[in-house]
A and B are shown apart, each in its own frame.
Chain A
Amino acid sequence: MSDLTSLTLVQTIKALQDKQFSEEELNKAYLDRINSLDPKLNIFLEKKKNTRGIPAAIKDVIVTKNIKTTAGSKILSNFIPPYNATVVEKLLEQDISILGKTNCDEFAMGSSGENSAFGPTKNPWDLTKVPGGTSSGSAVAVASDSCVFALGSDTGGSIRQPASLCGVVGLKPSYSRVSRYGLIAAVSSFDTIGPITKSVDDAALVLDWISGSDNFDSNCKNEKFTFRPRGLEAGIKGLKVGIPKEYFGEGLEASVKKVIEDAIKKLEQLGAEIVEVSLPHSQYALAAYYILNPSEISSNMGRYDGIRFGSDRQDFGEEVKRRIMLGTFALSSGYYDDYFAKAAKVRTLVKQDFEKAFTSVDVIVGPVSPTTAWNLGEKIDDPLTMYLQDIYTISANLAGIPGLSVPCGFVDSLPVGLQILGKQFDEETILKVGIAFEQATDWKKEKPKL
């Protein structure tokens, strides 16, 4: 088979069971592909040659035993972890092989993939554009068929946004659904690990594998997510889909808005009931996030003191230093109540907005990103403009709810993703909507020409 790298995870498993090809042939096909593509895309920071297992790519903020893990930072450029993250252990139990560690914004801070100490990853749809971030390499690995699926992490949109900008599926699970053990800590009360995949089915299957209790993360929920293909394919007739008016206002590019509105019409044709909802505190979510996020970061980055991991603190990249400064200021004596405590209260209001909206709807749908992929270098010198790119994704992290990005169209040959948000721990319903939408459209068949 010549196109075995274009198969989804579910298709790959089936083909292996039917003995259409061997695991060795599968691994070789992917390795050949990344050897030819990686020089121009800059996806992988480490590559592994395997002969067994289903090849997956792992974001470099997730530690892998005996495989160098840098988090995209110069500070960890020589760090070889002595243990595996829980998610990695769980994947290995499923006969997954680690094909490589993917490039990302340093310590998962950024929105474009440009903050890596090892150079930016390129968008496979247009090599002059950013792939989004921070799971930039993982999204590009999936979009360019350089792995069967990938793991990313989402603190403020870092799975959904690059998935949207690269035209693949990205799932941010509910906070605490998946163990964080072995995820290099950035913003501990926001960090989640989730799959980036070629289909919604694949995302559901990977979440089944990686979710569930873990003795190494005492904030991790005991109940795992269970993948029930038939339950997910039940259709969405009668399901109530909420459209938050705050997600369609100023800032959303008109062409992106059009694509999202067409996707909503599609859901209506599939039998969903469209209901307007309001998330009144959305406009304050970004401001609250950019206090809470740098505050937790300034604390978590304290461990890179030059003693335990080598490297001096001046080796941090520009964005990391900026957030350490902002967070240190927000937590400093005399400012805590005005900034951190205030933001934590606004977080409560954002969470309550969702709780209220979900009393009348089953899911909430809108754009992932206000624009399509922008030019490399375009926003890198203007941090506030860069932060505003996260405007539709961060609320879900403040509230701890799950979110899915599904390809829903193109603007000038660049992909647009539809965001589907659900109730806390109700990944099942957003996946159900994602599958219904995916099956009714042909967007997942579109591939970048490389």
Chain B
Amino acid sequence: MNIKHVAKLANLPLTHHEEEKYSEQLSKILKYIEQLNQVDTSDVEPTFNVSGQENVISEDKIGECLDWKEGFFKTKGVFNNE
């Protein structure tokens, strides 16, 4: 992993000490993650949302709205309490 390049992509200012430390720690973590390659996923679809639902939306009904008259909405006065 090119630490300086990734830090730039992440817009993350790192000190020299942090760059060295993360280099070492992240390669250890990535080494652990490499075991994913042992799993055969050739016929497997990825999962991005486990809820089993999509776009839960509320009922389509008319709620409270402003009165309408001669092409204009009627609202309360803005500058005084008419």
Interface positions of A (Cβ within 8 A of B): 175-176, 189, 213, 215, 218-222, 281, 283-284, 287-288, 290-291, 298, 302, 305, 312-314, 316, 321-322, 324-326, 328-329, 332, 339, 341-349, 351, 383-384, 387, 398-400, 424
Contacts and interface: CB of A to CB of B under 8 A. Distances in A.
Given A305-B11, A314-B13, A346-B39, A219 B56 contact: yes
Contacts of B25: 322, 383-384
Contact of A288 (B28, B36, B52): B36
Contacts of B57: 218
A312 B13 CA distance: 9
B33 A290 contact: yes
23 contacts: A176-B51, A213-B56, A218-B57, A284-B36, A284-B38, A287-B33, A287-B35, A302-B11, A305-B11, A321-B18, A326-B29, A326-B30, A328-B6, A332-B9, A344-B46, A344-B47, A345-B39, A345-B45, A346-B36, A348-B47, A351-B50, A384-B32, A400-B51
Identify which of B14, B46, B55 gathers the most chain A CB atoms within 10 Å of its CB. Answer: B46
B56 A329 contact: no
Contacts of B50: 175-176, 189, 347, 351, 398-400, 424
Contacts of A325: 3, 6-7, 10, 12, 22, 26
Interface in B32-80: 32-33, 35-39, 41, 44-53, 55-58
Contact of B10 (A328, A344, A387): A328
Interface residues of B, number: 39
Contacts of A220: 56
B45 A176 contact: no
Given A281-B39, A345-B45, A329 B26 contact: yes
B44 A324 contact: no
B35 A346 contact: no
A310 B52 CA distance: 37
A345 B33 contact: no
A383 B39 contact: no
Identify which of A287, A302, A305, A312 gathers the most chain B CB atoms within 10 Å of its CB. Answer: A287
Contacts of B56: 213, 218-222
A165 B77 CA distance: 59
Nearest to B33: A287
Identify which of A339, A346, A398 gathers the most chain B CB atoms within 10 Å of its CB. Answer: A346
A287 B46 contact: no
B12 A324 contact: yes
Contact of B13 (A290, A313, A383): A313
Contacts of B3: 325
B10 A298 contact: yes
A384 B29 contact: yes
Given A384-B25, A387-B29, 9 more contacts: A189-B48, A291-B33, A322-B22, A324-B10, A325-B6, A328-B12, A329-B1, A341-B46, A347-B50
Contacts of A283: 35
Contacts of B13: 312-314
B48 A344 contact: yes
B29 to A, nearest CB: 6
A345 B7 CA distance: 27
A321 B44 contact: no
A220 B57 CA distance: 10
A349 B41 contact: yes
A348 B63 CA distance: 41
Contacts of A383: 25, 29
Contacts of A351: 47, 50
B13 to A, nearest CB: 5
A313 B55 contact: no
A281 B21 CA distance: 31
Identify which of B7, B10, B53 gathers the most chain A CB atoms within 10 Å of its CB. Answer: B10
Nearest to B3: A325
Contacts of B52: 400, 424
Nearest to A339: B33
B28 A384 contact: yes
B35 to A, nearest CB: 5
Nearest to B1: A329
Given A189-B50, A213-B56, A290 B29 contact: yes
Contacts of B41: 342, 345-346, 349
A413 B55 CA distance: 48
A400 B52 CA distance: 10
Contacts of A349: 39, 41, 44
Contacts of B11: 302, 305, 313
B5 to A, nearest CB: 8
A288 to B, nearest CB: 6
A75 to B, nearest CB: 12
